[in-house]
Amino acid sequence: MRDTRPVGLLLVLLALTGCTAADPPAAESAGSPTPAGPPATVSSVQRPPAARVVAGPPPDPCSLLDPADLAGYLRQTPPDEHRDPTADVPTCVWGDGEFRAISLAAWRPAAGQRPPTGGTRSVHGVDAVVVADAEYTCELHWAGEVGAVRLKVVATDQESWCAETTVTLDLVLTRLGW
């Protein structure tokens, strides 16, 4: 007579670990695109998200908005894209500079550099400072861990531009990956 104790012990171990012969292998259940239950976790310890490492200078601000992004502000005014040589940080300007203009700057602030103060609007989970919300003008400054962005819109056919400027600033931050 054959000794069946090793087989019995194996079945007990399989039952204790939750494995049974009725469970199909993962490769056989690949026909279903979504798992039947929540994914298994290795540990219940919550870890903070990895810090985003961003090296080098930010991209050229002129590369962050395209004609479709500018159309609502500029209407029939030609974009006339150019860099502002008088700005303190890399800045791109579109429009005629008088009645319709968009100015965008993206940079890495120096240590200790503080953003301006004023009212705020939440953009990308961070409060952007509203530097100007005047007739025909909105200027927002956003400063996060990885950099800063300044967006200013001037257009004479609408009293307030801050709602639209907030949406455009969010688009710029998405393109930057910030």
The pLDDT tens digits of the residues spanning 81-126 come to: 999 999 999 999 999 988 999 999 999 887 777 778 889 999 988 9
CB-based contact 73:100 (threshold 8 Å): yes
Q: What is the mean pLDDT of the chain?
A: 76
Angle of helix 162-176 relative to helix 67-74, nearest 10 degrees, comes to 170
Which residue's structure tokens are 């993206």?
A: 106
Q: Residue 129 — very low, low, confident or very high, per pLDDT cuts 50/70/90?
A: very high
The answer to whether 172 and 149 are in contact (CB under 8 A) is: yes
How long, in residues, is the chain?
178
Q: How far is Cα 94 from Cα 153, in angstroms, rounded to an integer? A: 10
CATH code reported for the domain at 61-176? 3.40.1000.10
Give the pLDDT of residue 55: 58
Give the pLDDT mean for 68-90. Answer: 94
Give the separation between CA 108 and CA 99, rounded to whole angstroms: 30
- Which range among 11-20, 72-81, 105-114, 120-129 shows the weakest confidence by mean pLDDT? 11-20
Whose CA is closest to 108, among 72, 143, 60?
143
**Domain ranges within the chain, ordered by starting residue:** 61-176
pLDDT digit string, tens, across residues 26-60: 444 444 444 343 333 333 333 333 334 355 677 89
* Residue with tokens 């705020």, as numbered in its chain: 120
Number of H helices, E strands in the chain: 3, 7
Q: Are 127 and 107 in contact (CB under 8 A)?
A: no
Cross-strand partners of 149: 106, 142
